[in-house]
Amino acid sequence: MLRWKIEPIKLPLKFNWKIARNEAEQKTNFLITVEDHEFIGRGEVAYNIRYGESDTSTLEAFERFVSSSPDAIHSISALMDAFSELDLPNSLRFGIESAFIEYLGAITEEPIHKILGVNRVQTVATSFSVPIMPIGELQAFISDHKLCRFHSLKVKLGSEDSIERITELRKYFEGSLRLDANEAYSDPDQVLKLIEFLNSKGPIDFIEQPLKANLYSESQYLKENSSIAIFADESLTDGDITEHFCDAFDGVNIKLMKAGSYFKALKQIRNAKEQGLKTLLGCMVETSLGISSALHCAYGVDFFDLDGFLLIKEDPFALTSEENGKVFYSHLQ
């Protein structure tokens, strides 16, 4: 008989994590475990308030899952059947699924990438995220965290001071930039003015979700007139990637915590390629448990933003490591 458990993980951060819609100095994630008398599997839940997820909704939904008698589940198909009867937050659904798949791997002695039916990738080059902060602190932040070892930085933007922020940052970092506005803008012409400025400020890989997710026609207009690639983030959660995305974006940010499943995320990557969209594999603020899960989906992806475990003061699992801007499984050291 399987035993399921959920417990909070308190994660103090290395610095104040400020983006366009909120800020925090500590994150609370959840650890899901499933075990029998001999084997155990673990999964991480990194919920996001942007999608109405919270401590309370996570715990309440987990209780609904436990009440559905999951102790009798012994196959992936049975787990999918159980999910179909429940309305679970995507991040919790992924935490449960990933714990169960790790448990199956322990029983069968099969690596997870084989269970998922994908090619294994052992290392990827990640960007490092720079939160919104006073412009005068950027030089010290880049120096203190030795960010020039990364090939690219993801710069969090608000609707104000973006030009000044990037101008200052360019004094200390020459690599490529990936700009992430987290829906900070409502006016596409304001974004186009920023883009016109950016064209003279070194390499820019893309701008991620500059407009609010519900501004579809504005996003179409922005894509048609932008000289820099526009990527979707908040506009994509667990749905299929259709031509709808091609009309408004050049690429998509796929996250396991948004997709709610390895299998959904892998389908999204495949769909995006079929539609001619670029792919970014991203993360929330997560421990190396969640980041190691994301690495299982890395094959064929164009860009990576898997720095979540680098933002926390002390990682409780040490499953992934980073060196010179590359993330890899710790056991490969």
Per-residue pLDDT tens, the chain, 333 aa: give them. 899 999 999 999 999 999 988 999 999 999 999 999 999 999 999 999 999 999 999 999 999 999 998 778 889 999 999 999 999 999 999 999 999 999 999 999 999 999 999 999 999 999 999 999 999 999 999 999 999 999 999 999 998 899 999 999 999 999 999 999 999 999 999 999 999 998 888 899 999 999 999 999 999 999 999 999 999 999 999 999 998 899 999 999 999 999 999 999 999 999 999 999 999 999 999 999 999 999 999 999 999 999 999 999 999 999 999 999 999 999 765
Same domain, 166 and 295: yes
**Tell me, what DSSP letter sits at residue 10?**
E
The model carries a pTM of 0.96
Could you please report the per-residue DSSP string of 123-175? EEE--EEE----GGGHHHHHHHTTGGGSSEEEEE--SSSHHHHHHHHTTT--S
Same domain, 325 and 199: yes
Looking at 116, 143, 172, the residue that finishes a domain is: 116
Same domain, 111 and 250: no
Same domain, 145 and 275: yes
Same domain, 104 and 180: no
Q: Which entry of 27, 255, 258, 264 is annotated as an active-site residue? A: 255
Per-residue model confidence (pLDDT) at position 333:
52
Same domain, 235 and 165: yes
Same domain, 99 and 160: no
Question: In this structure, what CATH number is given to the domain that contains residue 47?
Answer: 3.30.390.10
Looking at 95, 116, 137, the residue that finishes a domain is: 116
Quick check: is 267 catalytic? no
Same domain, 94 and 208: no
Looking at 64, 91, 116, the residue that finishes a domain is: 116
Same domain, 55 and 187: no
- Give the count of domains, the chain: 2
Length of the chain: 333
Nearest to 293 by CA among 62, 125, 96: 96
- Tally of CB atoms within 10 A around 167: 13
Same domain, 162 and 236: yes
| Segments in 174-300 forming alpha helices (H) | 188-198, 216-225, 243-248, 256-259, 262-274, 288-295
Per-residue model confidence (pLDDT) at position 209:
98
Same domain, 185 and 101: no
What six digits make up the tokens of 225? 């007139």
- Tally of CB atoms within 10 A around 85: 9
Same domain, 183 and 307: yes
Quick check: is 171 catalytic? no
Question: In this structure, what CATH number is given to the domain that contains residue 145?
Answer: 3.20.20.120
Domain span at residue 255 reads 123-332
Q: Which entry of 14, 18, 114, 156 is annotated as an active-site residue? A: 156
